């Protein structure tokens, strides 16, 4: 019997290495302290450490517009093992600090943001800190930023210009500048991923990749 000694490396195929590199540099180098082994602009970014390695390379041209789908044949996900709950919380804070537009909160809710990033991030921090009405970010009252919260039971709530949320009754919903395209696509039977792809195609300020989070079972 052969006993493996960990995973040597994991290679991920991305649409655009240059666009993906800042995220992976922040996560792997700045947060995990991994060392850069190879860094070829637009071609490869490879970091090693913590008894493994993570490498990103560009997709073949004919596949660059194909979105990632966890349920297709291939990689579903990979998971880093951390040493303590404190490390898990610190990693969560680090990802939040990167400006990720969708995150999974410690209570299992999915949090999404649209609109001006700075104000939207303030709203998300406000919610994570307990959503105290008197502490709602003042600048958010006159801004178009929106916080979307999907609760573990599937309820969708939004916060926009005030500290009191509104529940979305529709089974399907879209937000942001490309919402009209996305809602039309879903109405015609397209998946949420395909709907976002269509919005990115026709709305000039949408794009830069698609992230997918699902409610925990």
Per-residue pLDDT of 101-125, as tens digits, reads: 888 888 889 999 998 888 999 999 9
How far apart (Å, rounded) are the C-alpha atoms in residues 21 and 133?
38
Rounded to 5 degrees, φ, ψ at 146 are: -135, 135
What pTM was estimated for this model as a whole? Answer: 0.69
- Min mean pLDDT across 109-113, 157-161, 201-205 is at 201-205
Mean pLDDT for the chain overall: 88
Domains 7-81 and 99-169 share a fold: no
Which of 207, 119, 123, 193 is closest to 158 using CA atoms? 123
Looking at residue 217, its pLDDT comes to 56
Sequence spans of domains, the chain: 7-81, 99-169, 177-210
How far apart (Å, rounded) are the C-alpha atoms in residues 91 and 195?
30
Spell out the CATH class of 7-81.
alpha beta
Domain spanning 99-169: which superfamily?
Aminohydrolase, N-terminal nucleophile (Ntn) domain (3.60.20.10)
């Amino acid at each position: 019997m052969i006993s493996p000694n960990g995973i040597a490396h994991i290679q991920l195929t991305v649409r655009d290495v240059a666009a993906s590199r800042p995220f992976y540099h922040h996560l792997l180098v700045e947060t995990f302290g991994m060392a850069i082994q190879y860094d070829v602009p637009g071609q490869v970014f490879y970091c090693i450490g913590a008894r493994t390695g993570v490498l990103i390379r560009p997709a073949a041209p004919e596949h660059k517009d194909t979105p990632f789908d966890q349920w297709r044949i291939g990689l579903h996900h990979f998971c880093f093992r951390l040493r303590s709950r404190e490390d898990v919380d610190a990693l969560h804070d680090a990802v939040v600090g990167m400006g990720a537009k969708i995150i999974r909160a410690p209570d299992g809710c999915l949090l999404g943001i649209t609109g001006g990033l700075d104000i939207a991030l303030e709203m998300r921090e406000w919610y994570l800190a307990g959503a105290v009405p008197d502490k709602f970010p003042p600048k958010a009252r006159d801004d178009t930023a929106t916080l979307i919260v999907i609760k573990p039971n599937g309820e969708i709530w939004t916060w926009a210009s005030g500290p009191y949320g509104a529940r979305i009754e529709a089974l399907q919903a879209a937000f942001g500048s490309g919402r009209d395209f996305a809602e039309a696509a879903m109405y015609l039977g397209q998946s949420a991923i395909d709907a976002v792809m269509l919005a990115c195609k026709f709305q000039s300020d949408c794009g830069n990749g698609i992230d997918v989070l699902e409610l925990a079972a």
